[in-house]
Structure formats: structure tokens, C-alpha cells
Structure 1
Amino acid sequence: MHSGVSTLNSDLSTLLIAVRKIAMDIRTGDMKRLLLLMVNAGVLLVSSQAQAQSSVTLYGLIDVGVDWESQAAKAPGQRAASGSAVRMTSLAGSLPSRWGLRGKEELGGGVNVIFDLETGFAPNSGALNNGNRLFGRAAWLGLESQYGTFRMGRQENMTYIGLLKSTVLGPALYSLAALDPYLPNSRSDNAVSYFGEFRHFVAGATYSTGRDAASAAGGATANAGAAYNPAASNCPGNVPGDPVACRQITALVGYWGQMLGLQFVYDQLRGGPGLSAGSVSYDPSMPLLLATSSAKTMRYMASGYFLLGDLSLRGGVIHRMTTTTTDYQTNIFYGGAAYMFRPDIEFEGEISRITTTDQKNANYYVMRATYLLSKRTSVYTMLGFMQNNSRASYAVGAGYHTVAGAKQTGVLVGMQQRF
């Protein structure tokens, strides 16, 4: 890396000398020598630019659809359903809408500077998602080399990375997000990370000194006006005298082969004081207050995939344990398949089940069909069915509400365009 910088400085110095000679030749009228020097200067300029190539890419996707759900409720805890609901998607359709700027600069010796700034937005209104942050999906700077990638800033943690490898639906409106809203929002503020892949063996980790520096205004007076929002759980950390407050650690080890992959993920997040006076942080899985740094939520994920031609099988299990004044545990089991029926048609399906300490159990069934109009544009439809037991009230669409014991059906029709 240092030799590349030295070579660049030497070339620039030589170029400067050449420019001075050109100016002198112009004054003396030596046109033959002037032409030769101009050619040499051009060669040096191209060589200097090649020493430190860089690029910035604008990218994104817009995904919007219309969702119909039976037995919808206006708020959690409602005893009787208000009826069916028809809504345009805001959090996600088949995928969350986003745009971003991704950059890379070659330093030499196989080392690159990289960065990513990514904004999530609601296509139905244009509002910012991810806790109302400008770059709520990503805002990091890092270095990559043959030994792995190092990043600093707000970024996806290992839980998110592991989930994308092991579910066919990803962070769709009908997905595991309906059972655990933390999963599609598993990003960390104030984080440093490392990820490396060596002959299909992978290892990575993140460490955050304050996992979530955003809060959401609302009417929850028990939390100084901060409303429950899994994308803004109100835990900025960096508290003098309490280095554990709002800390988050995630880690992943696994094998990502061309046909078979297995991985294990560990995720620990701590509680602590919130942004508002007297407020505290949330467990992003559900509205449980994590009032002190000793309160914590831990996840253990074991998952994998199997690829055979146009068929993809993915699945796993996620165990979560939240420790506050009492212990609260959940288990999510999931498995799905994706099949590329034709180069322009794909079918996907996933079955999942959640069990909890307080017997709020449910089975969840989702199917998705996608038709590619082009390489960038597609239309899709999703069908979801949530089978709650008498205690559970999980909605078929993530972020929405239903009543306890509901057998709820959802239908989503949408369109997506990538750029």
C-alpha cells in the first residue's frame, strides 16, 4: 500500500516537471520537443489515475404493493377484530424499498477503502423508515483485503447476515418479521465489525457501544413518551461509568459451500437508559423494557441451506431469551423452498412456528410467486395464513395487528423495480 502511494507521488512530481518544460517550450517555440513532452505527460496522467482507481455507485429498489388482511385490529390488545383491511405497503412488500451510494477506492496491494450509505423509505408516502433516519439501513466506512473486511458505523449485524442465508422470503411483509420484528431490523449503531471468508469457511463479529441511538415519539408514558418501535429501540449507550449499557455483540461462524451451507449465530443486546429523561430502552422483539444494563436479550441461531440446480432449500431455528426481572423465552422453527420454474418465474414457500414461555404459539404459512418482466422489474403476489392459538395475536403482515386466537389470511400483490 505504501509503495503504491510513493509511486503515485513520484508520477505526479514527474508530471509537474513535464508541465513546466511544456510551458518553457511554448515560450521558445520548440514545437517538436513540445509534442513529445505532451505525449509523455498524457501517459503519466493515465498511469497516475490507474494507481488509485475509485468508483461510486447509485443503487436501490422501489417495491410497492397492496395488502388485504382479514380479522384486522387497529391496535394491540383489541378484543374483537375490526374487520378486513386494505392498505398500500409502507414497511416492505417483497423487499423494503431503499436507495444508496456505494463506493470503493483501490489503495494498492489488494487493499480497498469501501463505504455504503443506504436509506430506507416508505413508497406509499415517501417517509423515512428505520427509525426516521436519513441513512437508517447503512452508514459505514471500511477496509477490505484478502484477509477480510473491517467496517465502522451503522451496519447490518451477523443476525441479519445469517438470516439472509437461511430464509427464502427475506425481510418481506409476510416473513419471519411477523413473528419477531427484530429480525429484519437487526442492525447496530456505533458498531465495528469484521467478516472473512476462507475457502468457504466464514467468520464474523460486530461490537456496538450503543446499539440504537434513535427513538420514536409516542404515547407510552411509562417510557417518557417513547413508543415501541423495533426500528428505534431507544438505546444510545456510551454511558460514563457503565460501558455495558446498550452494548451489542453478534458473532457468526459457518461453512458456505456452493451447494451446502451451515452456520451458527450468537446475538446479545443489553438494556440501558434511553434518549429521553427518565426513559429506558426496549427489547426490539416486543415491548419489554430493558431498564438496566444487566437486562439483556440473547439469541442463538442454527441454520443452513441446500442448493440443487433451480431448487433451494433453507431453514433453521432461533432461540431467544430475554432476562429482566423474569426470564422470557421464544423458539422459532422455519423452513422453506424456492424453485426457479422458468428463467422469468420463481415460486417460494415457507412454514414457520413460534412457541413462547407464556404459550403464545402460532403456525405461519407463506407462499410467493414472482414474474420477471425484465432483469430489473418484476411483479409478485404473496399469500399468508397465520394460525394463532387462543393466547397469541401475531398478524400475518409484519407491523400490523390482529386479535388473540385469530386465523388470519393475507393477500399481497406488488411490483418491484431495481436501479
Structure 2
Amino acid sequence: MKLRSTRLSRQLRRPLARCGLALAAMVVSSGTHAYDGGALAPGLTLYGLIDTGIEYVSNVGVQKSSAIRMPSLTSSYPSRWGLRGIEDLGGSYKSIVVLESGFSPSQGTANQNGRLFGRQAYVGLVGPWGAVSVGRLYSQIYYSLIGDTLGPNIFAAGLLDTYLSTARVDNAIDYNVTFSGFTVGATYSFGRDAVAPAAAGGCAGESPSDYRACKAISILVKYEAPTWGVAGAFDRNYGGGGAGSPLPKSSQTDTRRLINGYVKFGTATVGAGFLRRNNQGSVSAGISDATSDYWWIGANYLPIPQVSLDLQYGHLTVKASSTGASVIAARATYLLSKRSAVYVTAGRAFNQRDGSFTIDGGAAGTVSTPLPGVDQTGFLVGIRHKF
């Protein structure tokens, strides 16, 4: 499994889709990017990934029942489709556009609270000085996770902080530049989320009366060499979501500071990371100390080119409470081709006395949440195809 690359390096991936899917290009067709006789406009790429399977989860809810179902949010990766365009403007300048939609293959419905392009929607300009993009964008902390070997897998250490794999902000402007192995980036949101419900961290969007309400800022510094890499990130969300929100007041903040990295040994990669979080919303919930620590370590190994093996462990400690947990997860993938793969993955969450973390990252809301202090096991057999 490849570790996450920077957004700019992904602009040139994947070939043009065939004419049967060209109708999707009309969403962004205008001017010289016109729909023309069943082919995508020059410089515009349609891409995507469909990933699903059948999962088993134990100890669900009050009855501690078992569930067998298809996941809706993610399997080994979240399912998505998108349009990516890049145009050479001459003189080392390029324009870029990305529209990316997440969906549930089990139902054919849109994820990200029903947004058409909930994963990404931005336009930007690239030059010798870097890139500037505007729209709905990932926070820089997402791009810093080079040491997370399981990433958004349905069972992973990342379930101890689900924000990391879904850290996106609306109404945002982003700058990043890469030179001599270094990447530096910064993102600022004028109003981070007006679509998600307040209880899920949604905010009121851009506020004309409160300059701090619902703002967000993130910063990235990263260095990658052929056999190792290290990255650090700072991410802060301001409150202002009102009653029912984890951060009801704009004076409250939720701040994460992260450092992580990886080392390669032949066909093996070992990754690890540490995150310190200060969530002032937890004080409002009655916890005396707003600090928590999350760390993880994992590895990926390719015994042969067609087989990928992953193992990961993570632990969360919440200061002044017993609401933390540990997670162990594993995955074995067989590559049928460059585009198709089958896999099995499993995981177990070990909750502290008052912790109720679910091992199931594939279900929205509290569908799979166990009772406080109850451990949980998950298992999934899946298949994915990318185009």
C-alpha cells in the first residue's frame, strides 16, 4: 500500500475515461472545456474507486448483538469518483480544478452529508512559487499523515480520532509549495462547515457578525526522502456552532498538533506517529482536562508483488477521564491487477471503563457503538476496483 502523496502529485494520475462516462464532464464544461461528441474535454480526467464488502461486528448497542452488513462509509478505502483538470498556461503556470464526490456503493447514495462534491471542490493556480487553491479542501493535517500505514481502512488505529481521515473545510484558501523534498502548506477557512449537523461538529459557515466563528487554520511541514519521511502539522478549529455543537462558542477551540513519519526497509515500511489534542469542547462536557494523547505504530510488507500485508496498533489516553481506548487492526490484500484487488481485514477495539469507541469505521453515526467499557471485534471480506 502506498502512503499518501501530496495533492499536487495526484493531479496527473489516471488516464482519460471512456466516452460512456463523458456526460459527467458536463458538470464543469464551459468555454474551451466544452463537451464534444462523447469525449472528455482536453486536460480533464474522470477517475474513481469502488470498494465494498461484507462485514461482521460484535457487541453492538445495549443488546451486545452482532451485525452482518455492507459498510456505507469506507472499506479498505472510501468509494469516490471525481473530475480532475489541469491546463498548461505557459511560462511554468498551470490552472487546476478538482471535483470529487464520495458515495456508498451499497446504496448508491452520496456521503459527506449528501453533498454532490463533498470530498473536494476547488480551483487553483500553480506556478514556480507553489500552488494556491480556493474552495472545499482538505486540512493540511490530512496530507501530513505519511506514517499512517492503514489510513482510512474500515478497521484502523485512526478510529481513535476519526477527524484525521475526514479533515475537510469549506470556504477555504490553500497554499503549498514543494522543493528539495520539503513540502510546506497552509490552509485557512472563512467558515468551515455549514452542512454537517451541529452534533457532528458542523458549524454555521461564514459569519458576518463574529470574526472567529467557525474559522479554521492548518499548517504543514513535511520532508520525504527515498527511504524515509517525516511530517508535522498544526490544526485548529474555532467554535461558534451554537447549542448542540461540541464547540458552541467562537471563543472555544479544538487544536491538534501531530508529528509522524515512516522508514522503508526493502519491501517493508514501518510508520508511527503522535498527536496531542486540546479540545475545549470536552471541558464544556464536564471533563476537567481538555488534553488527550493519541499514538500509533504500524507496518506494511509485500512478501511478493501481488500480496500486501498490514498491521497497526494505536492507543488513546484522555486526561482526567477513563474514556480512552486501544485498537489493533490487520489487513491482507491480493492484487488481481493494477486496478482490482480482494482483501480480508479485521480489528478489535479495547475500551477503557467509560470509553465507547467502535471498531467499525464503515457505519455512520452511532449504528455500531458498543456500551461504555465493552470491547468490539470486526471482520470484513472485500473487493475494490479503481478507474
TM-score after normalising by structure 2: 0.84
Aligned partner of 1:392 in structure 2 is 355
CA contact (8 A) 1:390 1:404 kept: yes
Q: Which residue of 1 aligns with 2:259?
A: 302
Aligned partner (choices 108, 130, 138) of residue 126 of structure 1: 108
Letter in 2 for 1:115: V
- Bigger drift between 137-146 and 112-121 goes to 137-146
Q: Using the TM superposition, name which of 320-329 and 395-404 deviates more.
A: 320-329
Specify the alignment match of 1:244 in structure 2: 212
Contact 1:260-1:304 at 8 Å conserved across structures: yes
Query: In 1, are the aligned partners of 2:157 and 2:313 still within 8 Å (CA)?
Result: no
- Provide the residue aligned with 1:202 in structure 2: 183
1:327 CA displacement: 4.5
Distance (whole Å) between structure 2 residues aligned to residue 210 and residue 365 of structure 1: 36
Structure 1 residue 93 and structure 2 residue 75: aligned?
Answer: yes
The answer to whether structure 1 residue 401 and structure 2 residue 364 are counterparts is: no
Partner SS for 2:104: coil
Structure showing greater Rg: 1
2 CA distance for matches of 1:102 and 1:407? Answer: 42
Match of 1:65 in 2: 53
Aligned equivalents of 1:280 and 1:192: distance in 2? 28
- Cα deviation for residue 134 of structure 1 reads 0.4
Q: Give the one of 98, 116, 119 matched to 1:116.
A: 98
Aligned-partner Cα distance in 2 for 1:240–1:246:
11
| Counterpart in the other structure of 2:133 | 151
Root mean square deviation, CA, Å: 1.6
Amino acid at match of 1:293: S
* SS of aligned partner of 2:143: helix
Query: What secondary structure sits across from 1:290 in the alignment?
Result: coil
The alpha carbon displacement at 1:176 in A equals 3.4
Q: Is the 8 A contact 1:81 1:403 kept in 2?
A: no
The answer (yes or no) to whether the contact 1:54–1:104 under 8 Å persists in 2 is no
Q: CA deviation at 1:259?
A: 1.1
Q: What is the CA distance between 1:397 and its match in structure 2? A: 1.0
Structure 1 position 350, deviation (Å): 0.4
SS of match in other structure, 2:46:
strand
Aligned partner of residue 222 in structure 2, secondary structure: strand
Question: Could you tell me which residue of structure 1 aligns to residue 15 of structure 2?
Answer: none
Whole-Å separation in 1 of the counterparts to 2:302 and 2:244: 43
Q: Which runs of 5+ in 2 are unaligned?
A: 1-40
CA contact (8 A) 1:271 1:281 kept: no
Q: Residue 166 of structure 2: which of 178, 185, 188 is its match?
A: 185
Higher helix share: 1
Describe the superposition over 1:244-271 as per-residue Cα deviations: whole angstroms up to 9, x where unpaired: 1100000011211111111110000001
> Contact 1:234 / 1:281 at 8 angstroms: preserved in 2?
no
Residue 343, structure 1, aligned to residue 305, structure 2: yes
Q: In the alignment, what sits opposite 2:268? A: 311
Q: Cα distance, 1:110 vs. partner? A: 1.1
Structure-1 separation of matches of 2:179 and 2:209: 39
2:222 corresponds to which of 245, 254, 276? 254
TM-score, normalisation: structure 1: 0.77
Identity over aligned pairs, percent: 37
Partner of 2:6: none
Contact 2:157 / 2:329 at 8 angstroms: preserved in 1?
no
